[in-house]
Structures are given as structure tokens and as C-alpha cells.
Structure 1
Amino acid sequence: MFGILGLDPAAECVYQDLVTAGSSSAAGLVERTGLPRAAVRKSLALLAELGLVTEQAETRKRYLAASPAVALGALLAEQRHALFRAELGLASLAEAYRSASADSSARDLVEVVIGAHAVRHRFEQVQMSATSELHVMSEASHEVVAPGESVAEEQAINRGVRYHVIVEQAMLDLAGAFEGLMAHMKHEQLVRVVDRVPTKLVIADRSVALVPLSDGTNPDRGEPSALFVRAPGLIRLLVGLYQSVWQQAVPVRLVEPSNIELDEPQTNPTGLDLRILSLLMIGATDAAIAKQLGLGLRTVQRRVAHMMDLARVSTRLQLGWQACHRGWLT
């Protein structure tokens, strides 16, 4: 919680114990926190250095926590000043960067990023810079960052950034694809599926974008490269491309039941039926569904036939219409 103030988990544990339990000896802290004696002594030294604890002058050394409102408030104020100074330094560096050469304005608007490490780093930066929304197009093949590998993605979601994701059909055949889609659904992210995406793409807040220049399917064409874009005209063009693909894609509406039952119901589909139906609605084949859910192909086909009987239809197209009409996937 207070790592930004210079406290490690052990020191934070010791301080919280002193705040709630009052003054204590080092031995008492060891007993209550369960930390090793050396860790407790190291934490006390750190806390004393930061002004968060004081040592009482008694026969046996005892330690007393300083007021959190005063001590931690001072540290927070110091951090705020440090962040303000960092912002000023950032502005100064940005200005120096822009004036470093005659073509700095063009360099700010469009930049070629070369090398797997550089592309991966810039991909993380684009996601970390987002404050409200990210538009992503993802191919089944990957050259630099595989689906689910980005740490920045989870951090962006936790900040409240809304993801709009388009994935291509072939991704449904990959191991773990269903779980990945379900993870997006849990965070109420919008996901659609299309046969093929024209390119990989990530756009943050409709202001910056990253699009690959290299062909990930042909490793003989040199190391990975990408185009980092800030130019408003190019951003509008990429957003338009994204929206045209989004309109053609099929929305993903997945159901995650609390349990999966194989017993046939009398009047309603089971949780397993709804999972199968969810994948059918985004164009997955019977074989892909069986692979994703760990079922036999015959089991999938039998469950689909059972849902058709429940809906009293004779085709899968009619089943999809009835499923929407009856609210099975709502």
C-alpha cells in the first residue's frame, strides 16, 4: 500500500502492528507479525529513518509509532513535490526533444520503431498512456507480443480503461482462446470476431497508435518494426479503418456458468449448452468448440441437437435466432 513512500511489505507490516497494538519491543513484534527477528530489526531501522517510529528510553527497548496523519502525510507531501518536479523535468525534456532538430515536428508525429524489444516496449507504452479507451485488432499469429502476454493490459483495465477488441476467427482454434475471451468479458470489455483483420493495430484515446510494418508470417524479412503515430490525420484514418472492421465483426456474448452440468434438462439449456451456444454465435466450428471445452466432437453435436429440440427448430440459423429471442445469452 505504501511502497511508493519507501516502505517494503515487512516495514509496512511492522508499522501497522505498532499503530494498532501500541508501543512494543522487538520481540513482541516478532511474535505478533511472524516476521524473522532480522527482518523486524531492519524494518524498525527503516521506519525510524523515515520518522515513522520512535525509540522509547526504557530498560528494554520499546518502539512507538508516530501519528500516521502527521508522519505519512509528510511523506506523501514530499512525494507530491517530487512528482511535480518530475513533471516539470518531463516538460523540459520534451521541449528539448522537439527543438533538437529542424524536422522535430515530423519526428514527433510519426516514428519508425525497429527491433522486437523496442516494439514490445512501445506497445506497453501505448497501453499505459491510455486514460479512457483502447481499440485493438489482433491476429492469430504473433511476431512480438502474444495474446495475454502484456502486463500493461491488466493495469489499463484496473485504471478503468475500456477495451474494444477485434480478434480474427483463427484465434478461436488456439489453446486457451476461450479463457482469454472470458477474461475480457469479466471486465465488461467489448470483443468482436471477424474472419480476418487487415492488420494488427492498437489505438489509445484516439490520439496515438501503433501499427506493425513488418510481416510476422515471413521471418526472412528482417527484425520486427512498427509505426508509432501521433499525426491527427493518420489517427483519423486508422480509427476509420478500425470502425469499418468493427461494423462487420460479430459481437462476442459469452456465458460463464457457475457450474457445468451434463445432465439433460427438461425445458432449459444447461450451463454447458450455453457455453457451446456462445461459441457457435461467434462462428466457432464444432471441432473448435470441442477443443476449447475439452469435449468430444459427438458430445458437442449432441448438445447442439438437444438445444435445437428445446427451441423446436430444424437449423442452426433458426437456433441462433431463437436463442436471442428467448434471451438464453442475455
Structure 2
Amino acid sequence: MLEAAGLTDADEAVYRLLVTLPAASASEVAERCGLAPGAAGLALDALIAKGLASRTDSAPYAFAATPPDVALLPHLQRRAEALDQARTAVNDLLETYRHTRRRRDAGQLIEVITGADALRQHLRRIQDAAREEMLWFCKAQYVAMPSGSNRAEYDALARGVRYRVLYERAFFDDEGAVENVAEGARAGEVARSVPHLPLRLAVADRSIAICPLVPGGPSGSSEEPTTALVRDSSLLEALVALFERYWEDGVPLLFDTAREPLGDALGEGAGGALPSATDKRLLSLLVAGVTDKAVASQLALSRRTVQRRVQAMMELAGAATRMQLAWQAARRGWLD
């Protein structure tokens, strides 16, 4: 069990014996461990060389164990650090190898994935391997993962991986979509909405991406999706830049991530000059294209209350229509 500390079976047997005794002679060690005297002597010499045992002062020919926390833990820590350094070196070599191969073999840059099952597996795999950030374009009508089924996201968020997700407006037409997005926000996801997204996209750590090559039908369609796994390349850089461009235009989706009680009145902030936190959440969902009914359900309000609060915000902003309200909200920074 202590091979990692550089001990043979005989060394370990002798050390385990010494740990149970104040001290023991070489002959006693040989007898109790079932070793020949010469083998016991070699094991004791090895333990002394490794700092795991020492001769006692009172009896020159007796041996005592060094406490395990003093003798073993620092050694194991050094080995662990050496393994970490070796792992880093191997990763660097692997990246160099892949970089060299990519320049000569396009198959190292783009891998074609066919079918929804294979797509699901790859999406889970890149999330399980992510260490820093995931970027997502979520379009309406899922192809591989129904809304709320991506449990790999919650595992990654728990590890500290940041998720930035853009939802197109039609995404919220599906039943339960708003609550699924709210659940992700409560777990740490940062979500925004745009009127339309050009494609489906997932990017892990800005080093690997999955995006469609040809349009695939939604779940239940006879058309299997064909997607590409894109590794570090100019194409990947372009996909990341595309995400960032749409992210800049996205409307932040504000949810009650702490599940705090909702405010009752408009203008709770800045002496009534600003919408309350509740109204900002309400406004962000409306601007994202979520229906009054879904907003009311998400905020635990009646539909009439939602409409009343929207009207109050329109009066506060001097807007005659909801579209003007959205424009005024963006201009005044109510959705930041």
C-alpha cells in the first residue's frame, strides 16, 4: 500500500511493525515479520536511509519508527507535486503535438459528428472537461438536449466553471423554459436574450467548440443533425468573436437568484426614481420576449399585477408603448 512512498513489501512490513513498538532489535524484527536476518537488516537499512526509522540512543542495536506524519506525508507531497509537474509537461507536449498535426491534417481541426446521441455525448464530454468557461447559443426547438436536461452544466458550475448563455426569444415559447433558465441562473449561470441567434453553439474554455455544419431537425425529426467539433484554429476564434458580438447586444435576464421576497411597489430605489428589483426582473423577462403569463408564473404574481406594474413603469419612463419602454429601459440602464 505504500509503494508510492518508495517502500518494498518487506520495507513496509518492517515499518508497520516498528510503528506498533517503542523499539525493536533486528532479530526481533526478523522473527515477527517472518524475514531472514539478512532481509530484515536490508529493510531496516532502507528505512533509515529514507528517514522512516532510526537507531535508538539507549540501545544501539534497537530500532524505532519515525512518526508517519513526519516521515511519509512530506515525501508523498513531493511526489504529488512532481506528478503535477509531469502532468503539466505532458499536457504541454500534447498541445504542441496537436498544434503540429493540425497544420498538416485538417482532420485534427474539425471532427464531424452525426446524430443526436453522438452530439449529446460530445456536449457532455466538453462540459465535463471544462475548467474555466462555457459559452452557449441556445436556439428554440432543441436538437440534442431538451431545456432543463443539461445536468452536466450544474456539475461544471459547482466546480467553478463560468457559464455565459445567450437565449433567442423563441426559446421561451416552450413550456417550462423560463423556469429552467431561472434554475440555471440560481446555480450561477449568467443569461442574456437576443431576438434571434444565427446558429447553435457551445464553446469550452475557448479551446474547443461544437456547432452545426448543416441544419438538423428538432427532436423527433427524421433529419439527423450534422455538427462539427472545432479545435483551436482561426475558425474557433471567429466563433468566439461571434458569440462576444451577440453577447454585447443581449438583454440581461434577471431572476430572483436568492429567492428573496418580491417588493410590492414600483420605485423602491432612489426615492421612487427607479424601478424596484422586482420590476427590473419583470422588465428583463418582457424585453426577452417572455409572455405576461410566463412572467407572472415566474415571479409568483397575477397576470393583472404584471400588467399593472408594466403600466406603472411606462408612466415612470414616459413611454406610450412597451417597445418605447424597452428602449427607455436600455437608455436609462435599468437592465444593467
Q: TM-score, normalised by structure 1?
A: 0.61
User: Which residue number corresponds to residue 40 of structure 1?
Assistant: none
What are the within-5 Å matches in structure 2 for residues 101-250 of structure 1?
105-157=105-157, 160-173=160-173, 174-178=175-179, 180-181=181-182, 183-184=184-185, 187=188, 189=190, 191-213=191-213, 215-217=216-218, 219-222=221-224, 224-230=225-231, 232-247=233-248, 249-250=249-250
- Secondary structure (helix, strand or coil) at the match of 1:219 reads coil
Partner Cα distance (1:326, 1:246) in 2:
19
Q: 1:258 aligns with which of 254, 257, 260?
A: 260
Q: Structure 1 residues 244, 278: CA separation in 2 closer, same or farther (over 3 Å shift)?
A: closer
Q: AA paired with 1:170?
A: A
Q: AA paired with 2:221?
A: P
Structure 1 unmatched ranges of 5 or more: 6-47, 58-65
Q: 2:284 aligns with which of 274, 278, 282?
A: 278
- Secondary structure (helix, strand or coil) at the match of 1:227 reads strand
Tell me the C-alpha RMSD between the 2 structures: 4.4
Q: Structure 1 residues 108, 264: CA separation in 2 closer, same or farther (over 3 Å shift)?
A: closer
Q: Is the 8 A contact 1:130 1:205 kept in 2?
A: yes
What are the within-5 Å matches in structure 2 for residues 39-118 of structure 1?
71-82=72-83, 105-118=105-118
Structure with greater Cα Rg = 2
- Secondary structure (helix, strand or coil) at the match of 2:105 reads helix
Comparing 172-181 with 133-142, greater Cα deviation is found at 172-181
Q: Is the 8 A contact 1:97 1:104 kept in 2?
A: no
Q: AA paired with 2:284?
A: S
- Secondary structure (helix, strand or coil) at the match of 1:153 reads helix
Structure 2 unmatched ranges of 5 or more: 5-12, 23-66
The percent identity for this pair of structures is 33
